[in-house]
Structure 1
């Protein structure tokens, strides 16, 4: 029996090797570069091949581990019943096979509770993962499981923020992408009961964020970049959780903006007052464009950081850029400029660019298929067929060669091996593959009362595309697209021509739609495809004898010196003598290499005038005989104290604290308190986690600017309803000292 199986296996390998060797790589290709080519039924990358033998059978010789040789061949064959899903058929067998592979992996990710797992290695539902996936595709394929999965991330009537930096919310607040996913489910299904339930949850969660993470002076939302939640992977090493909370990240602004837009739209459908959220969204959009748009580079900055003297990180951040296009934060001119001027790598778009040196690949120096999917979708909004084609090819290549939708891959080689963690059938990578069909090629856009169909078909994909059994509210649609282009030439439902390419939300029954494209695309589109590069290292600066001193890096051409957020000098030296000044100063230095790429700014060095700062022991305001004050949820939820100053003015206040409830990278026990001066609420103080069971690790909270009167002032830290952490009831911290610094 063993010999019989061995013969069959050998014979199968021979047949597959013959098949893969006989691929016709002279046929018209869908995409070609020096790195790889995509054909209607195959992918070729050097000595590696993938071939679609049918719409249900893919083979690949790409090595999944070190035991494989180039002569070994792996198979994917469809084993699941996909009849309840929309069926996709086209002239391109590679697309057909990847589509079916992705649906099968989607089925494999439905757990026994009828919820979506996040991936093969990531069990359970994560708020941002499920939400981004639903927006891309799952509201179309699985609206009911999408609803259950979204509700699984609700507790006490509010949206849960998954574990993250410093104990999660409010350091991270991108959980609000939940609302856009919930809205997409409503647009797809028309379910008013779902809309009512979602609206209440979203409104409660939004009100908390408006109290805790909305900055009423900057008109921006504080907090970590969306999904980039490994602190050292995307921020300078000196920034800890409180610094990240105080920063303003592009992708997080986009998430909150769309949340406010969705809340307003939901309110209108339900006849609720939405004016408040409309006003805040307008203020936020204006602030994003004023404070993040880099005019000379023609794209948005990655984030704004350093609470005392905020400056921009000019790295390109791709999810944020894509969302600014898709959510119409950018105007039409900006949209086009973003796609034209943002660097794309040979194997796709990275999380950000340039990369950070000496940080292992995960978010850094890595390509994530779901980010690529949003970029592809955004590219269709700018009539950039080169970007669309390049992006579709990137997703086809990885899914076909790997025979799965991987979590991420190396930016430089496109290989999945070598990143810190990687998972097969990652949910949002699956959704990204499906979105190439639904959102890009078919251009499905669900609206309040209709489905707009605006296909975007690159020249290379000219032919016939079909989706059958697409469920839209109370109708089932079979859609056929003929030709290529970005505009619809004719649109017929059941052989009746329509003036607009829309399907009414009131339509019922089974209908056939035939779309003929205009067979025209602009030849003017362009993209910047560059090799992966790294920025210079962030300078490590010391204050020695009234001078800033740092080590020279051989790759650095020059250094910029900043004081209070303004550049005061360019230099090639590694020492800078501080000028005499009557002001309090915050100094930072950045490195610039020969290609003009900039490092992160160095850790701020603050120089105060004598007598302009004071440290106050917290235990002076308690009767307990301990060298600190305890904050918890039961007996010590509030802290009341007094501050005496010699003159009226504006000050920064922060607190030296400890929080040993968890590490800086996991759990969700960040404590927060509302700061009050007399009867004025001034903002939230965050006490992030600093180490599991480590209550001797002391650091400072975020700083808040306050106005104090001469003499004694009454202050308090209060635990308001909106200060409750989303997940864990027990949040606590210790306060050692209160620090006061007068501003200039």
Structure 2
């Protein structure tokens, strides 16, 4: 008999927010636990901050908040890890503790790196990340004494970094963050410390821009005159980041420029730096939005680099991987990209499901800077809330302390556009509170979705792939042969840092030139995967490279005569050892003259050795280079294996025709730099630039 009853309607399936490797996160993910995320507080802190949401999927991460503010050895965190944690959350929840932690990083009136990596400064430098964090603490507390202290430290730290690491010819800061060197190197195998030092990373330049902006805001709050040279430099570096480090056909940022005197742009993305660029608002918003939607990512989360440089770059395999996912969640909300946020949140949940989530403040910064969109200004806290479409009902943020104000925030709906604001029940046109507000207040906000929010996209691929191998090239003048040639690869030829040609042949020739020229080769695979260039080839036509040996620098001093004997003791050869100019840290300035055949700009390098028994100092040995009375920069001599002759970092110097007076000296302001360090000079090389 046929049934006369009505057929039940099919259950509407809800698409998962995140799905990979047997793990699925849906909007109705069933878990046990409270629906309120409480952030631990102490007697010394005012915070009793909590977040209540009706979204069960989001509540799945509630258990993570217990470890969000404790159980992490803060003293072991690098400057950038500690400072970003403070700037993106802890400054508002735990201001007193954050202030103490930043004070502990100051030595001699400036920020210093961790002791474990201090000997590698200025190659590894993350000191500038301290400055935006210090400003955020002031805005959270209003403590003028702290502001004056932070402004003085910030100015001293910036002056040192500008003097040593800012290179005017590129308009960018050199040096690298520590996560690109450990636990695995993200540089080509041929690159030694001197080569890595000549790298202009997205991370360090974004931090430099934010540091200079923060110092300007500190000076304004203290009614101090602006440091006009630093303000002008800030605008210049910001423009250079948007042009030199942007990859137009990819739609995201390059990790760095590298390769020496004429640097080449890497087409690999550093996803940690890209996320922080968006989180800190350091670049033009459309560029950040493009990077969020177009950067390739894996189903299991965002890798550290795209394409992968090492197996440890995969999600969950790197010590900073879990912080990386939370940064991308914030960046996605700031860029108005719900699909990207869902993917980043799913990657965090996947890590939590495996009991392998090292949050390091992930939840607090996701709440404050992501969902609530907290932005501190000179006079007020402004909110730019963004909630995904699967958030239903009301989301409440309780007891957010803004100086002398305790604020409860109730957000209805979802999206990233504010349609209605009520402050203590009264209509308001301002989604925030001024710092002068006191007492307990309630802010109610109604959200709706923007067209971009609903149409957001994300670039998820089953395999981001690994970077291609760096080409190994044999050169004979300007004729080249690729030793590890592959027929399915295309090779881009860069001459003086600019793309010159492409080849699919094992051998190729370049036209003759009368100028100093550098050449780099980058391989591109069949799937358009790319890697880093092979060793930079430098071509020196006649009368472009000039060598000043140690015997000329210290005339009249000869190396010792060595005798070589056979097994019977018979002398078979005598030779004179090359003379080296010893440069101990206590030595006074070394002065010599160089006769230039032509006026123009030259590259100066010191060929040096590290003497046996030399003790690493609190930074690489360096000397200030002056030519004809003008300071031109700093030559840095990274420590190398004793007895091996290598070249220092280059310094551009202007020379006049005829005699030029050159001086190598320890900086007159000894407090600016680490101890000078010891090395021995074999020769000094000058190369005339075109």
2: CA distance between counterparts of 1:364 and 1:740? 47
Asked whether 1:206 is paired with 2:138, we answer no
Which of residues 623, 632, 647 in structure 2 aligns to 1:682? 632
1:327-347, Cα deviation, whole Å (9 max, x unpaired): 444324323322222222212
Displacement after TM superposition at 1:323 (Å): 3.6
Displacement after TM superposition at 1:533 (Å): 0.9
Distance 1:645 1:32, change over 3 A: closer
Relative contact order (alpha carbons < 8 A, sep ≥ 6): 1 or 2 greater?
Answer: 1
Asked whether 1:159 is paired with 2:111, we answer yes
The aligned runs of 1:215-254 (5 Å cut-off) are: 215-225=167-177, 227-230=179-182, 233-254=185-206
Aligned to 2:643: 696
Displacement after TM superposition at 1:629 (Å): 2.4
Of 525-534 and 544-553, the range deviating more from structure 2: 544-553
Aligned to 1:425: none
Aligned to 2:572: none
Contact 1:166–1:663, Cα closer than 8 Å, also in 2: no
Contact 2:618–2:675, Cα closer than 8 Å, also in 1: no
1:503-526, Cα deviation, whole Å (9 max, x unpaired): 121122222333222266632211
Aligned to 2:349: 396
Aligned to 1:593: 525
Aligned to 1:90: 53
1:57-116, Cα deviation, whole Å (9 max, x unpaired): 9xxxxxxxxxxxxxxxxxxxx99999954122222355446345334352223xxxxxxx
* 2:546 partner SS: strand
Aligned to 1:303: 256
1:688-741, Cα deviation, whole Å (9 max, x unpaired): 122xxx431321111122222333321011221557676x54633222211122
Aligned to 1:476: 406
1:276-318, Cα deviation, whole Å (9 max, x unpaired): 3322111111222232223332222221112222221111222
* 1:489 partner SS: strand
Aligned to 2:70: 107
1:151-191, Cα deviation, whole Å (9 max, x unpaired): 11110000112368793322133210100111111111121
- State the TM-score, normalizing by the size of structure 1: 0.80
Contact 2:603–2:687, Cα closer than 8 Å, also in 1: yes
Aligned to 1:47: none
1:442-493, Cα deviation, whole Å (9 max, x unpaired): 2222222211122110101233322222222112222222221112233333
Displacement after TM superposition at 1:394 (Å): 1.8
* 1:377 partner SS: helix
Contact 1:631–1:638, Cα closer than 8 Å, also in 2: no
1:630-685, Cα deviation, whole Å (9 max, x unpaired): 33332x15322222233333322101123479999x98421221110011111111
- Could you tell me which runs of 5 or more consecutive residues in structure 1 were left unpaired when the two chains were aligned: 1-24, 44-50, 58-77, 110-116, 407-428
Which of residues 524, 547, 551 in structure 1 aligns to 2:455? 524
- What is the total number of aligned residue pairs between the two structures? 652
- Could you tell me which runs of 5 or more consecutive residues in structure 2 were left unpaired when the two chains were aligned: 1-10, 560-578
Contact 1:673–1:723, Cα closer than 8 Å, also in 2: no
Aligned to 2:598: 647
Distance 1:102 1:624, change over 3 A: farther
Aligned to 1:738: 684
Distance 1:556 1:433, change over 3 A: farther
Contact 1:491–1:515, Cα closer than 8 Å, also in 2: yes
Which of residues 494, 503, 514 in structure 1 aligns to 2:433? 503
Aligned to 1:452: 382
Which of residues 307, 313, 316 in structure 1 aligns to 2:269? 316
Aligned to 2:24: 37
Displacement after TM superposition at 1:611 (Å): 4.2
The aligned runs of 1:329-478 (5 Å cut-off) are: 329-356=282-309, 361=313, 366=318, 368-398=321-351, 400-406=352-358, 429-478=359-408
Aligned to 1:174: 126
* 1:714 partner SS: strand
The aligned runs of 1:263-282 (5 Å cut-off) are: 263-274=215-226, 275-282=228-235
Aligned to 1:574: 506
Of 487-496 and 442-451, the range deviating more from structure 2: 487-496
Which of residues 632, 638, 651 in structure 1 aligns to 2:584? 632
